[in-house]
Structure 1
Amino acid sequence: MKLVTAEEQTHDRDLDITTETCPMTFVRTRLALDRMQPGQVLRLRLKGDEPRQNVPRTATEQGHSVLSATEAADGVLILLIRKKS
């Protein structure tokens, strides 16, 4: 299975949590995912060590799929997360 980059993957919703701190980083992510339909993709921009570790792990633990993680030039990590079906 080939993972696609953030530029190749289409997404249904954008969320920028680069200014948020834990635990609000995942609270905002979870609220966004809760408002989406199963199978839709969230493009998430985040920054900082704690969110980089916790957000993908927690999303996976809740049954969602992290499709890709791309490092942007400005130090922002861009995640694509598919909502569980």
Structure 2
Amino acid sequence: MSQPATSTPDAQMDLRGTPCPINFVRTKLRLQQMEPGQLLEVWLDPGEPIEQVPESLTVAGYTVEDIDDRSEFFVLYVRRPRA
């Protein structure tokens, strides 16, 4: 996951300050509204959010393409799978 995201995100969400599991639920709902293959950029807090959300999304069938550490928060790039 050290490579930058392969394309410009189709949508962005700032979930800093949002507790678990609400941040996962909001991310999953947003991905479900997107077209297959689209990329979502999600801003998450350090600690439990960045530890739990990427793993939960992977288990749910989404592709985590990159996690960028911006020191004060993390940027998660996740793609909705193609049908």
Please give the TM-score of this superposition, normalised by the length of structure 1.
0.87
Q: Following superposition, which runs of at least 4 residues in structure 1 exceed 2 angstroms of deviation? A: none
- Per-residue CA shift, 1:47-71, capped at 9, x if unaligned? 0311111110011011111110011
Which among 44, 61, 64 is matched to residue 63 of structure 1?
A: 61
Given residue 79 of structure 2, which amino acid in structure 1 is its aligned partner? R
Unaligned residue ranges in structure 1 (runs of 5+)? none
1:32 and 2:30 aligned:
yes
Unaligned residue ranges in structure 2 (runs of 5+)? none
Report the count of equivalent residues. 82
Distance 1:3 1:71 in 2: 10
Task: Specify the alignment match of 2:76 in structure 1.
Answer: 79
Distance 1:11 1:4 in 2: 15
Distance 1:37 1:68 in 2: 19
Please give the TM-score of this superposition, normalised by the length of structure 2.
0.89
Other structure's SS at 2:35 match: coil
